[in-house]
Amino acid sequence: MSDSTATTLHSAIELLEAIEDDQLRLHYQAIFTVPARRIDSFEALLRWQHPVHGLLLPMSFLPADMDSGLGWVLTNFVLEEAVRACANWQRSGIRAGVSVNVSPGRLADEFLPEHLAELLDRFELDARWLTIEMTESRCDVDADDIRRACVALASLGVRLSIDDFGTGEATLTRLRHLQFDQVKIDRCFVAGAVDDATDRRIASFATDLAHSLGMTVVAEGVETSEMLDLVIDLGVDLVQGFHLHRPRELEPHWRSRATCR
Ligand code: G
Ligand code: MN
């Protein structure tokens, strides 16, 4: 792990120690069905409860290169915690899935399916509750490698989602050959759609296109009731954003059985 792969604010050593000291936590943000507003799943979001600086968001501590050794260690941590948590929800009768963000480089890793299969088996979680979100904005991985990963994860039964949809350079190319189950329309279009006719048309087009390809559509970054009404009008299937639920720690306090799919 070279120095350049570690964040400038916190060293790799500090982060590895934070894992040991139980300072890295997962917060969860609910993703709701519309119009019923039932909880479909929770997106797992990494947070650092730093003893001096307080609660830190990933942008202040994640390595710029998530395909560095440290990036992979952190992704493994999130995957394990999220699968463990979701298995606990199922045991408590909470029928909610979990989404984990994975870099395109990690998605293309030929050993990822094996790793996921081992986690699902260890925690006795049915694969259909796990969604892997691949961010589109910095996807510079070979399309063939992503395609192989899609096939392998689909055969495991894990769902695949394109995060930040619309912000990547090859958005439509991505849809040509890849078998994703879900797209998450980037929050810039959701926010823009309120006042900007172009953003609204792009969000509407993305929704219809994804539906015609058999994919589920999530509108992310829903911050106001106006945005919520708008994306419901566009016909999205799922919504996520501060207006509905802010990311927070769910365990060990969360024991509600209400309104899940
Ligand atoms: O790229 P991705 O969709 O994985 O980003 C998740 C991040 O977005 C989380 O850190 C979360 O806190 C943030 N987030 C979630 N909902 C909202 C929202 O409604 N508005 C904004 N600005 N950020 C959000
Ligand atoms: Mn995401």
Protein residue closest via CA to atom 22 of ligand 1: 221
pLDDT at residue 44 is higher than 80:
yes
Q: Ligand 1 test: best mutation among 99, 131, 242, most atoms within 8 Å of CB?
A: 242
Are 226 and 233 in contact by the 8 Å Cβ rule? The answer is no
Distance 221 CA to ligand 1 centre (A): 6
Instruction: Specify the 3-state DSSP secondary structure of 139.
Output: coil
Which atom of ligand 1 lies closest to the CA of 137? 1
Query: pTM surpassing 0.75?
Result: yes
Distance 141 CA to ligand 2 centre (A): 18
Q: Which pLDDT band, with edges at 50, 70 and 90, does 5 fall under?
A: very low
pLDDT at residue 18 is higher than 60:
yes
Place of tokens 């994919």: 215
Distance 184 CA to ligand 2 centre (A): 8
Place of tokens 């106001």: 224
Domain range list for the chain: 24-256
Alpha carbon distance 245, 214 (integer Å): 27
Distance 36 CA to ligand 2 centre (A): 22
Instruction: Specify the 3-state DSSP secondary structure of 81.
Output: helix
CATH T-level fold of 24-256: TIM Barrel (3.20.20)
Give 143-184 pLDDT, tens digit per residue.
888 889 999 999 999 999 999 998 887 778 878 777 899 999
pLDDT at residue 66 is higher than 80:
yes
Q: Ligand 1 test: best mutation among 45, 135, 222, 226, most atoms within 8 Å of CB?
A: 45
Distance 220 CA to ligand 1 centre (A): 7
Q: Which pLDDT band, with edges at 50, 70 and 90, does 140 fall under?
A: confident
**Quick one: which ligand is closest to 31's CA?**
1
Ligand 1 contacts (CB < 6 A) are 29, 45, 57, 101, 135, 163-164, 187, 220-223, 241-242, 247
Q: Which pLDDT band, with edges at 50, 70 and 90, does 141 fall under?
A: confident
Candidates 252, 257, 260, 202; CA nearest to 231 is 202
Return the amino acid letter for 35: P
Distances (CA, A) of 154 to 7, 90, 141, 159, 166: 33, 21, 19, 7, 23
Per-residue model confidence (pLDDT) at position 252: 57
Task: Enumerate the β-bridge partners of residue 133.
Answer: 101, 161
Per-residue model confidence (pLDDT) at position 34: 97
Distance 233 CA to ligand 1 centre (A): 22
Protein residue closest via CA to atom 12 of ligand 1: 247
Protein residue closest via CA to atom 24 of ligand 1: 221
Q: Which pLDDT band, with edges at 50, 70 and 90, does 236 fall under?
A: very high
Protein residue closest via CA to atom 6 of ligand 1: 45
Per-residue model confidence (pLDDT) at position 6: 45
Lowest mean pLDDT among 66-80, 84-98, 240-254: 240-254
Distance 246 CA to ligand 2 centre (A): 14
C-alpha dihedral, 8 to 12 to 16 to 19, nearest 10°: 20
**Quick one: which ligand is closest to 240's CA?**
1
What percentage of the chain carries pLDDT values higher than 90?
Answer: 76
Alpha carbon distance 164, 135 (integer Å): 6
Are 259 and 37 in contact by the 8 Å Cβ rule? The answer is yes
Per-residue model confidence (pLDDT) at position 256: 45
Place of tokens 């309104």: 259
